[in-house]
Structure formats: structure tokens, C-alpha cells
Chains A and B, each alone.
Chain A
Amino acid sequence: LNRITVFRYELKRLMFSREYLLLLAAVTAYSVSLLRGLVLYGVNYTAPFSLLTFSTYCYSLCPFFFVLLLVLCARQFKTSERGAEAIIKTTCMPFHIFRLVRYGAIACAYLFAMVFPFAACFLFYNLIINYTDFGILLLPGVLIVVPPSVFLFGASMLFGNRKPAAIYIMLVGVLVLSAFKIPLPDLMDIIGTAAVQALYEGHDHAFSAAFIAGRFVLMLVGFVSMIISLYKSKQHYT
């Protein structure tokens, strides 16, 4: 079985799924409303392209991104998908390779959804503010969004493989953390609440060392969980 063919098929299944399209529309609509209602005015009277404003924009979008990612992961552990595992295992493609291809498809679909609001923001800066120096903002944006995404992806693949309900528990956790703006310690600040709060209060003009170290830890834990989940597949059929 050609890996590229499987990858394309999985990507197409994800990107044309009802959940993905609905959440992508929600992310896009929310990002547009943030651009019009938050970024344009600048947070705390700073520039629309200030670190504080852009970080707040990314931080506000984080719950939507994470819900989208967890929904994509939860799809992999539906009863029908689990039933198909028995058939997939009879093919010539090793099952961990098939899983890796699926991870790649999820990552691509997620990246596409993530790039969309970033591109909209940069286009907005270019058209409305004539600001083109996006490079400075890209790193903080990536730091806020990517490491927790890797962590949630890895954790949901690892725990979802054991108990699919774990993904929904994580989803509730993300929603509670973001809805109540619960600040976590810098090292495990998944949503980025504490980091943005520190920027807002003007304590620092950049992220703290603990926050950056925490991002690396989240990435590492995420990748390790992903690798473990590739090889530790629970048998769900007899």
C-alpha cells in the first residue's frame, strides 16, 4: 500500500469531515472578530502589532485550536475506526507506519487550520497598518500555540489509545482552563494565561525563562508520548 496514497486519503477524510469544517469556520469567524475588535485597537493602548496584542490574539485563539486538535484526535478512536484496525493490520503496511501516516495527516490538517488565522492577521497588518515585519511576531506566536499542541497531540494519542474518553476529559480541561482563565505555573502554562497576564501587567517585555523552558518540556513530553503511542497499540478486536 502506497504511503502517500494512504496519507492523501486520510488527509482528505479529515479535512472534509463535518467536525473539521465546522471548527475551521468557527476559528476563522473568531479570528476575524478578534482582528476587528481587539487587534485593530491594540491591547492596553499598545500598537496592533505589539507583542502584547499579538500574544493576546494567539492566546485567545488557543482554545479553538486545541479543541479542533482534540476533536481530530478523538476521531481516530471512534468505534468504527477501531474496528477497521483489524483489517488494516492484515495489509502489508506495518501498523505503526500506518499510525505515523495518520499522525502526519492530523498534523497537516491542524497546521492548515492554524496557519489560516495567522495569515489573516499578517494580511490585516499589511493592508490596514502597512506593517510587514512579521518575523518578530512569528516566534512568540509559535511559542504560544505549537508546544501545547504537540503536548496535547501526544497525550491524546497515548491516552486515547488506552481510553478514548481520556481525550474528552482533556477537552473539558482545556475548555475549563480557558473559560475561567486559570493561570498555571509558567512551566506548564498550556493555554498561555500566565504569560499573557505578565505581559499585560508590564512586568516583562518578553516571555519568562520558565515559560520558554516549559514550552520545551511540553514539546519533549508530546513527542515522547507520540513515539510511545506508535508502538504501544492496544488490541481492541478479538
Chain B
Amino acid sequence: MKEYFGEEYARKHFTDVWSEGWNTYKNAFYIQRPEYMVKLSDNDISNITGSLQSIRLYNIMPLMMLNGEKVLGGTQAFQQKLSELYLSRIGQPVTYDHFLTATGLDREVIELE
């Protein structure tokens, strides 16, 4: 997106949105006070964790990827590692551990604070 539409566009429509999602997740009531979920039914807990999971997948994970990109030295280097991972596991499922092994990144390094 940065290459197609410029840095400003990418920041406004992606990075800022992800950061906002991360802030929402950090401040979410049931993340800060999980003890309140004890009295809820399994269905309600599932709905709450499901909505939080979508923030984890679509906002937090991209920010973690950005962190990984910075650690590896830029977009090109990161995409090279991803390309290698894709080719090595073509047609097979790719887990988070596969990703960490292929890129040589540590969980702690890319996780958000």
C-alpha cells in the first residue's frame, strides 16, 4: 500500500487503524477485568472472546509483523523471509512457530507492549 498509494495513505488507513485497534484491545473491559466473565454463559464468553480475537488477528498481528519487519531490517528482508517460508511449506499449513523459525524472530521481540 505504501508503494501504491504513498506513506501517508498507508499510515492513515492501515497503521493508525491497527494502533487504534490495539488501544481498544488493551483497554477492553473484559481484557482488563477477565474475572467478570466468570458469571457469563459459555455462549457469551465465546462471543466476547471471538470479537477480541478478531482484533488480535486483524489489528495486533499486522502490528507485530511491522515490528518483525523493523527487526529484520526493512520490508525487502522481511518479504524475502516470507517468500522462503512460503516456498518451503507450499501446500502445507503454516503455523506461528513455522513463521518464527523461518524468520529467526523471537516472540518477545515482535510482541506489542
* A residues neighboring B (CB under 8 Å): 40-42, 44-48, 50, 128-130
Contacts and interface: CB of A to CB of B under 8 A. Distances in A.
Contact of B48 (A41, A47, A128, A129): A41
Q: What band does the interface of chain B fall in when counting residues whose beta carbon is under 8 Å from A? A: 10 to 19
A45 B40 contact: no
A41 B51 contact: yes
A44 B52 CA distance: 11
B26 to A, nearest CB: 10
Contact of B29 (A48, A128, A130): A48
Main secondary structure of the interface of A (DSSP, over half): loop
Nearest to A36: B44
A45 B39 contact: no
Main secondary structure of the interface of B (DSSP, over half): helix
Nearest to B35: A130
A46 B40 contact: no
A44 B21 CA distance: 11
A128 B40 contact: yes
B46 to A, nearest CB: 12
A44 B28 CA distance: 8
A40 B40 contact: yes
Contacts of A42: 29-30
A45 B44 contact: no
A50 B36 CA distance: 14
A44 B44 CA distance: 16
Interface of B: 24-25, 27-30, 33, 36, 39-40, 44, 47-48, 51-52
A2 to B, nearest CB: 50
Contacts of B29: 42, 45-48, 50
Contacts of A46: 29
A10 B2 CA distance: 70
B39 A128 contact: yes
B28 to A, nearest CB: 4
A39 to B, nearest CB: 11
Contacts of A45: 24-25, 27-30, 51-52
Nearest to A40: B44
Contact of B47 (A41, A48, A50): A41
9 A-B pairs with the lowest CB-CB distances in the bound complex, closest first = A45-B28, A47-B29, A42-B29, A45-B24, A128-B39, A46-B29, A40-B44, A129-B36, A41-B48
Contacts of A44: 24
19 contacts: A41-B44, A41-B47, A41-B48, A41-B51, A42-B30, A44-B24, A45-B24, A45-B25, A45-B27, A45-B28, A45-B29, A45-B30, A45-B51, A45-B52, A46-B29, A50-B29, A128-B39, A128-B40, A129-B36
B25 to A, nearest CB: 8
A109 to B, nearest CB: 34
A42 B44 CA distance: 12
